[in-house]
């Protein structure tokens, strides 16, 4: 769906993106994360055809972004980190203006406004001016502007900044809703705990380079599991190795091990039965916690 290849971008005297390459699958929600100044905003602006890189290419849904920037604007929705809304217009007028700018015919504007405002739960705010709205509601209006033309790809720069936990939760629900409607999302954020609720992939940028791309919610056929025993067992490693379908990743002592297992919940149940049949005093057999924040911090700390 999205292919970025060897992208390099320079501000005067500063290389902000350095040979950045990655692909994003259709229907995914990718978290774009990295320390301050890593280049996230610059990358999103290049992908939205708002900044011109020195070299490299960006292809979104078959459109060469650098060659066809206007076509690109038709197929993406972009929310800037510092979005602005026209204060003198009502929300309805803001949406109408953007709809027309996106080429939606006059006759189709009202249905488009009704549709997008329903999806963003701002139907009852259409006659308000942006200055009368809370930050969370203004954020929703800005996202409504970004997606009113139903783009297949949505790029969002720090959409959750400044929102309270309730508003962030609603935003997460909205992203899942957009994904369910077939959109592909790339979302930059520092709020990793929220990203985890909806992201399928994570792209880590550091000093203008991609340092990691991981699937966060891969249909994990291979899962790490922690095994903890109530008391030490001699030959634990040998016993575990005798169980089919279990790979022992780590077994440093006689009381606990990190296993890799295959399959679904039914398979996990069978494996637990096999462990108990070996008379192992199992007191814990659970997926090893590995969250987005851990993965991110490990990745960032590993880099020089
Ligand atoms: N207009 C500009 N002129 C010169 N340098 C810039 C400009 N905009 C950004 N930079 C620099 O480019 C680098 C990347 O900035 P960018 O805003 O893309 O990072 P970011 O990952 O979005 O950061 P943050 O998380 O703080 O928003 C930084 O070193 C920044 O200081």
| Token couple for 42 | 């610059």
- 77 torsion bin: left (phi>0), alpha (psi -120 to 50), beta (else): beta
Confidence class of residue 303 from pLDDT cuts 50, 70 and 90?
low
CA 71 to centroid of ligand 1, rounded, Å: 26
- Which is the closest atom of ligand 1 to the Cα of 38? 21
Query: Closest by alpha carbon to 27, among 119, 125, 152, 111?
Result: 152
Asked whether this complex has an ipTM greater than 0.95, the answer is: yes
Altogether, the residues listed in the chain come to a count of: 304
Q: Is the pLDDT of residue 198 over 90?
A: no
Using one digit for the tens of pLDDT, what is the confidence trace for 20-45?
Answer: 999 999 999 999 999 999 999 999 99
CA 75 to centroid of ligand 1, rounded, Å: 25
CA 14 to centroid of ligand 1, rounded, Å: 10
CB 259 within 8 A of CB 227: yes
- Which is the closest atom of ligand 1 to the Cα of 190? 25
Q: Of all protein residues, whose CA lies closest to atom 26 belonging to ligand 1?
A: 36
Q: Give 285's contacts (C-beta < 8 A, 6+ positions apart).
A: 225, 226, 227, 228, 268, 272, 275
Residues with CB under 6 A from ligand 1: 11, 14, 16, 34, 36-42
């Amino acid at each position: 769906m999205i292919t970025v290849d060897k992208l390099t971008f320079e501000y005067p005297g500063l290389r902000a993106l350095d040979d950045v390459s990655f692909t994003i699958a259709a229907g995914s929600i990718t978290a774009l994360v990295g320390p301050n100044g890593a280049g996230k905003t610059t990358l999103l602006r290049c992908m939205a055809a708002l900044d011109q890189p020195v070299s490299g290419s960006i292809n979104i849904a078959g459109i060469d972004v650098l060659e066809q920037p206007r076509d690109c604007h038709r197929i993406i929705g972009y929310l800037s980190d510092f979005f602005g809304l026209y204060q003198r217009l009502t929300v309805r007028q803001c949406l109408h203006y953007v709809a027309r700018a996106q080429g939606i015919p006059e006759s189709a504007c009202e249905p488009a406004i009704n549709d997008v405002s329903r999806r963003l739960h701002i139907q009852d705010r259409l006659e308000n001016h942006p200055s009368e709205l809370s930050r969370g509601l203004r954020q929703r209006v800005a996202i409504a502007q970004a997606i009113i033309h139903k783009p297949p790809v949505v790029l969002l720069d720090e959409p959750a900044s400044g929102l309270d936990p309730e508003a962030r939760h609603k935003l997460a629900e909205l992203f899942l809703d957009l994904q369910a409607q077939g959109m592909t999302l790339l979302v930059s954020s520092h709020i990793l705990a929220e990203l985890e609720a909806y992201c399928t992939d994570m792209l880590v940028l550091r000093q203008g380079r991609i340092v990691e791309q991981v699937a966060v919610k891969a249909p994990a056929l291979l899962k790490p599991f922690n095994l903890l025993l109530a008391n030490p067992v001699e030959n634990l490693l040998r016993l575990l190795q005798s169980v089919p379908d279990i790979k022992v990743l780590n077994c440093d002592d006689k009381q606990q091990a990190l296993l890799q297992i295959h399959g679904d919940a039914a398979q996990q149940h069978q494996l637990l039965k096999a462990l108990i049949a070996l008379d192992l005093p199992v007191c814990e057999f659970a997926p090893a916690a590995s969250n987005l924040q851990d993965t991110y911090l490990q990745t960032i700390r590993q880099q020089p």
